[in-house]
Amino acid sequence: MALFRLLLLGLLPFLCLSASLKDFPQLYGPRSWSRLAGGNNTADSGRHIRAKLQSQKINNVTGGAVSTYGTSKISDRSPREPLARYGAGIVYMLELDIGTPGQKVSAILDTGSYTLLLDPDCKQAADPEACQTYGFYDTAQSSTAKSLNGWFSGQFGTGFMQGVWYSDTAYVGLDYLPLPNLRIGVSKWSQYIWAGVLGVSYGKAWNTAYQTLLDLIVFQNYIEVPIFSVGVGYQGGGSPSDIIFGGVDRKKYRGYLEPLEIYPYPEQQLKLFDQVGYRVNLTSLAVTPPGENETMLTGSNFERNVLIDSGSTYTYLDANLVAIIAKTLNANTDEHGVYRVPCENRDLDGSVNFGFNFFNMVIRVNYADFIVDFDSYCALGVQPIDHSDSTWVLGTSFIRAAYLVFDQLNNAVWIAQYLPCGDDGVEDLTKDAGRQLWLEVTGLC
């Protein structure tokens, strides 16, 4: 609540943020990263780690346990996912090999949290059957597993998990590069959660006392800077879906990547929320109904903080805006209060448009990607936040339309419209990533 009071007081008049370097001085001075010094992150040649993402859908309208509430330091997510009440969601998963010998486990790529948590209790999961298929990490079967003798517990959206900390070797990416001593939370009791979670938000520089997966990838010198890029691809497949640690794929967008400064600044987030996440300002919202002109839903001075959260199926905005979007797309609430849309509307040529840095970058999410397809029915990609002071969230219904570079070196998220045109555009990011991202790694599509 305190946050939004502050933001409103600080409302700025329109600023022209066109590509002038002085508007983003903080993009050129590494701040938090120096706190991670200690590893050999001084490599002079660039590298990257590429991994495939798998889109996964669960849709069990009878499943889904009622949530338990608690405060937590393992997730930066505040709203509960309404559809979770009957167990439905679309996320993107990454496969890891854990332990010695390696055990294959898939976990949800989650930009809204920062730790690797595995082994939810499938019997209590929203979708017990799907849960079984993502692999199980058995510490007893790994010669490199070490118990760290500590407990964790935390709330994850609708889910809850508690368990014990272990450390083990994990192997990531297409080349299965080893990461010794990765901290892993092994669940002993959980509710609703139906797969492991791989958090890729800020780690040791801000949120943790230990090195997270991204921290270790840098510490091991596999990549030079704590930056990764995500293109989850269009709904229903047909386009590549991957994550590149330490690099960017120039064949997934066209033109310049727009830098969105992390805001509130990490220091402020730590004070306000006790943790740091990928929060940025959204500066406009509009809809383009099929065959019509764009209708703006926000005023010219609009600025609202949002969390970019790949662990969330939906985008969450204020109820009144959601109602307008719902009306435009012919969506109606069901008995659970969730907006559903006729699936054939996915074929209509309309979009929901999200603006950043005023109109410097507008991401147009086509109905085909914005309407979440659960096969037997479709849901609107945006649902209302629980309380008027809850954080707005841009979930996978938004992320499908964007190419995103999460940059912990410069504290920014760089963004462009997702537009795949090949598979050979990967470029490594180096200590000079600020300039590279600004001027050099323009999209080739």
Ligand X SMILES: *[C@@H]1O[C@H](CO)[C@@H](O)[C@H](O)[C@H]1NC(C)=O
Contacting residues toward ligand X, per CB under 6 A? 7, 10-12, 39-40, 60, 62-63, 127-129, 261, 263, 281, 292-293, 303
CB of 374 to ligand X, least distance (A): 13
User: Nearer to ligand X by C-beta: 314 or 358?
Assistant: 358
d(CA 203, CA 262): 15
d(CA 127, CA 118): 16
User: Nearer to ligand X by C-beta: 243 or 402?
Assistant: 402
CB of 349 to ligand X, least distance (A): 12
Give the residue carrying structure tokens 């969450």: 316
User: Nearer to ligand X by C-beta: 126 or 416?
Assistant: 126
CB of 318 to ligand X, least distance (A): 15
3-class secondary structure, 262: coil
DSSP H or E segment with residue 146? strand 146-156
User: Nearer to ligand X by C-beta: 181 or 442?
Assistant: 181
Beta strand residue intervals within 60-124, DSSP E: 88-98, 103-110, 116-118
Q: Strand 382-384 relative to strand 315-317: parallel, antiparallel, unpaired?
A: parallel
CB of 283 to ligand X, least distance (A): 8
Taking a C-beta distance cutoff of 8 angstroms, is the pair 212, 114 a contact? yes
CB of 130 to ligand X, least distance (A): 7
User: Nearer to ligand X by C-beta: 109 or 131?
Assistant: 131
Beta bridge partners of residue 402, listed in sequence order: 417
Residues 6+ apart with CB under 8 A from 163: 117, 119, 151, 152, 153, 185, 186, 187, 188, 189, 190
255, 207, 191: which is closest to 437 by C-alpha?
255
User: Nearer to ligand X by C-beta: 103 or 191?
Assistant: 191
User: Nearer to ligand X by C-beta: 17 or 399?
Assistant: 17
Taking a C-beta distance cutoff of 8 angstroms, is the pair 273, 332 a contact? no
**Phi, psi for 54 (deg, rounded to 5):** -110, 130
User: Nearer to ligand X by C-beta: 63 or 79?
Assistant: 63
User: Nearer to ligand X by C-beta: 60 or 144?
Assistant: 60
DSSP H or E segment with residue 368? helix 367-370
Read off the tokens for 194: 């139906």
Read off the tokens for 204: 């040791």
Residues 6+ apart with CB under 8 A from 351: 287, 288, 364, 365, 366, 367, 370
Measure Cα distances from 205 to 25, 38, 46, 148 in Å.
20, 12, 21, 21
Cβ-closest residue to ligand X? 63
CB of 128 to ligand X, least distance (A): 5
